[in-house]
Structure 1
Amino acid sequence: MSSQRGQSNYFPVLTGVRALAAYLVFISHYDYVFDEGFPQFVKRFFHEFHIGVTVFFVLSGFLITYRYYNNFHLTGDWFKQYLKNRVARIYPMYFLLTTGAFVYYWYSHDQVITKGFTHPVLLYGFNVLFLRGFFYQLWDTGIAQGWSLTVEECFYFSAPFIFYIATKYKKFYLQPLALTTLGFLLVIIFRNVNWYGFFGNFTFMMLYTFLGRCFEFFVGIQLALIMLNKGFKRTNKVKYTYIGFLLIFVFVAIMAMLPIPAGWIAGLQNPLGIILNNYFIASAIALFFYGLLTENTVMKRILATPFVELLGKASYIFYLVHLGYMYGYLHRAFDWLNEAAFNLYDKWGINWHSPFEYDKLNLFYAFVALNAISILLFKFIEEPLNLYIRKSVFLIKPAARAK
């Protein structure tokens, strides 16, 4: 297949999509740099680019299914190898960067890390064990955007059982309904229990837990099943790439026009916004992926270029560092450089602009710097640790290898 390189379950174009998803999330977190000269709708539109997380979820559903659906075995050795691969891919950088966040808190006492939680050691445990994502009061502590990894890990643990139920009992479409129903029941049971907001409200459950967002993974699963059954050859010439891409942002535009509920910050958190994000946008993303996998378009060629592919490989780290203490260090560095530049101009007796006095330019500098940091951390820490764990005796000896 032309879309693959070297191994049958690797797609360079989808690795490039990871970079696109991470950059959408980046824009959503820094939309405030667009000043009053921008129409309110444009700022609201950019603020809804959190849909990059939905891209990640649909992509995970597709890739895990494509790689494992036809050769999963619910045996001890298979499951150990499967978990070992997932741990090697996700955990080392998350653990290191989360530990860095709490070390930063230890000497800075920055409440951005703890959100006022009075037991930082306990909170650290909730973070490194992926537990904070179940609690409304804790989900955005530590590395705030890391809440999505709790959702990912829940899917990783569930996927073999989802496959088993789908193959043995043919109950594929009932599973997301059953999971979300379970989420509603947990909210009804626990919303009045003072346990750090464990399944504390319906909006939290639908947006920040696997039970609420499972449909996004199931859309990816369904796409993978189509590709496994029908392959990558197509007879029609419909450009699903561009149709899917356009639909994504049409739905984003609708979300940007929704009233924001009291106590929340985005149209996403409006009940209609939840439906648009979790169901309609997820389906449009799957259509976009289907086009990328089966068509030869300019967008596909760009996303599959070696440089964009490298950005995609480093995008997991970029996602973890783009918001939080590492960006904070860069921001303070730009402030220092700005002050140093003006001090130098005063010394020279000139009235120039500083290259660091503009928020938009500083955000661009930070974007470039964070990508460079991410690539370095990927090359020298993430990739070596990934390979080391896969070759180690952690959970299972390397000889017992999953297909």
Structure 2
Amino acid sequence: MSQRAQQNYIPALTGVRAMAAYLVFISHFAYIFDESFPHIVQRFFGEFHIGVSIFFVLSGFLITFRYYNNFHGLSKDWFMQYLKNRVARIYPMYFLLTVAAFIYYFITKDQSITKGYEHPVALLLMNVTFVRGFFYQFWDTGIAQGWSLTVEECFYFSAPIIFLIAKRYGKFYIQPVVITIAGILLYFIFSHVSWHGFFGNFTLVMLFTFFGRCFEFFVGMQLARYVLKKGFTRTNKVNYTYTGFLLIFVCVFVMALQPIPKGWAAGVESPVGIIVNNYFLCIAVALFFYGILTETTLFKKFLTLPFIELLGKSSYIFYLIHLGWIYNLMHNSFNWLNDYVFELYDKWGVDWHSPFEYDSLNLLYAFIVLNIISVTLFKLIEEPLNHYIRRSNFLVKYKPKPTHSKSIV
């Protein structure tokens, strides 16, 4: 890692990645909490999709923090190097796991991969090129949670243009307004066109595309611009870490109280939920991040522990595998083990509990195994591929630089 990269690396924010991924994990399995708790508890945990918002604000912050001050124009070499770094970071594991998901489909015919679409090869191409995220019929195919990667890629391509407009014309705050209005106009244009739901659903546009979610990235970008200008020291005594953390879960509670629209899964997909998630939650997240950056708290110390940092580094893989074909295989294995254990008990003539008969325990087992798989894949595949692509001649010729240079990271 170059000196510049080390200066831009903030361990606590890597730990935040793990926290965000685990929140999303809880949201997808919140139904388990209905077994022994009041229904409002399940609704509350069901809104822990906020981990995605944390990722989006964090992406806006990190891309701006790393690139903004050294951006002096949109040259071809700069953009190619920037794009190369983004591909190295995001694409290899997404591509490999997506292809694996479709191989799993061709073997098992599991309709959760294709949602019943009759052309799986075309759908695979739509998934590996990220365009599936613009279609209501396809947004949750393949690796369902991978829709957020379409949003991320749109931001990655947009960020240099956002920098250019902000620096050359001083127009930063108007840009998210323009982008959001463009998304709404696309909805009005295509909502009456029957083409697999391409921009054909308002909730899809506002919650599952960059057009609707852009404000979250811009909040992260503005936080980075502020920190780049003011630094990490401050004089006021406001505890931003815990204030922001509390406000995040106030937003969660508000969304948990909303009625769930027909055809959707959570309160975030209601009109109030969209407003709270897209425009208030991200501000709370930014306050939390500002506290992490400028305060010394037990929370920050926890996030910087080497083990938590490792979980944060592998959290991208955890996010991609925690829901879908790998989890399905695990779930089926637990059911098989449960049946096998009871068969053994019958042979032994005992009436014992099986360690696999409780959904909550099985979820804990799955969480542990998924983390083990994630760390293993990170160490053996993701990290080596990342370094290989960055040092290759892909898109732009690799030029080794001294450790004191200010190379793009």
Q: Is 1:169 the equivalent of 2:169?
A: yes
Deviations 1:42-96 (A, max 9, x none): 1100000000000000000000000000112311111111000000000000000
Q: Is 1:102 the equivalent of 2:102?
A: yes
1:61 aligns to what? 60
Q: Which amino acid aligns with 2:187?
A: V
Partners of 1:224 and 1:372 in 2: CA distance:
33
After TM superposition, list the pairs within 5 Å mapping 1:170-189 onto structure 2. 170-189=170-189
1:71 aligns to what? 70
Partners of 1:302 and 1:339 in 2: CA distance:
40
1:42 aligns to what? 41
Quote how far apart the aligned CAs of 1:37 are: 3.0
8 Å Cα contact 2:155-2:210 kept in structure 1? yes
2:249 aligns to what? 249
Deviations 1:265-304 (A, max 9, x none): 2110111100100110000000000000000000000011
2:119 aligns to what? 119
After TM superposition, list the pairs within 5 Å mapping 1:252-291 onto structure 2. 252-291=252-291
8 Å Cα contact 1:29-1:47 kept in structure 2? yes
Tell me which moved more, 90-99 or 73-82: 73-82
Q: Is 1:324 the equivalent of 2:336?
A: no
Give the unaligned 5+ runs of structure 1: none
- The count of corresponding residues between Structure 1 and Structure 2 is 400
Tell me which moved more, 279-288 or 328-337: 328-337
Quote how far apart the aligned CAs of 1:36 are: 4.0
Q: Is 1:391 the equivalent of 2:399?
A: no
Partners of 1:282 and 1:67 in 2: CA distance:
20
After TM superposition, list the pairs within 5 Å mapping 1:341-380 onto structure 2. 341-380=341-380
2:30 aligns to what? 31
Quote how far apart the aligned CAs of 1:209 are: 0.3
1:302 aligns to what? 302
8 Å Cα contact 1:77-1:400 kept in structure 2? no
TM-score, normalization by structure 1: 0.98
1:21 aligns to what? 20
8 Å Cα contact 1:15-1:312 kept in structure 2? yes
8 Å Cα contact 1:81-1:400 kept in structure 2? no
8 Å Cα contact 1:137-1:196 kept in structure 2? yes
Q: Which amino acid aligns with 1:18?
A: R
Equivalent position SS for 2:227: helix
Give the unaligned 5+ runs of structure 2: 402-406
2:219 aligns to what? 219
8 Å Cα contact 2:21-2:318 kept in structure 1? yes
Deviations 1:112-149 (A, max 9, x none): 00001111010000000010001111000000000000
TM-score, normalization by structure 2: 0.96
Partners of 2:224 and 2:176 in 1: CA distance:
16
Quote how far apart the aligned CAs of 1:400 are: 7.6
Equivalent position SS for 1:62: helix
8 Å Cα contact 1:66-1:224 kept in structure 2? yes
Q: Is 1:140 the equivalent of 2:143?
A: no
Q: Which amino acid aligns with 1:207?
A: L
8 Å Cα contact 2:34-2:41 kept in structure 1? no
2:210 aligns to what? 210
Tell me which moved more, 261-270 or 147-156: 261-270
Deviations 1:180-234 (A, max 9, x none): 0000100000011111111012111000000100000000000000100000001
Partners of 2:42 and 2:335 in 1: CA distance:
25
Partners of 1:5 and 1:244 in 2: CA distance:
29
Partners of 1:209 and 1:255 in 2: CA distance:
20
8 Å Cα contact 1:192-1:200 kept in structure 2? yes
Partners of 2:208 and 2:180 in 1: CA distance:
12
2:238 aligns to what? 238
Tell me which moved more, 151-160 or 64-73: 64-73
After TM superposition, list the pairs within 5 Å mapping 1:154-165 onto structure 2. 154-165=154-165
Partners of 2:400 and 2:185 in 1: CA distance:
40
Q: Which amino acid aligns with 1:267?
A: G
Q: Which amino acid aligns with 1:58?
A: V
Partners of 2:111 and 2:11 in 1: CA distance:
39
8 Å Cα contact 1:130-1:150 kept in structure 2? yes
Partners of 2:68 and 2:278 in 1: CA distance:
23
8 Å Cα contact 2:18-2:308 kept in structure 1? yes
Q: Which amino acid aligns with 2:298?
A: V
Partners of 1:109 and 1:347 in 2: CA distance:
35
2:404 aligns to what? none
Deviations 1:341-371 (A, max 9, x none): 1111111111111101100000000000000
8 Å Cα contact 1:5-1:12 kept in structure 2? no
Partners of 2:326 and 2:160 in 1: CA distance:
36
Equivalent position SS for 2:34: coil
Q: Which amino acid aligns with 1:14?
A: L
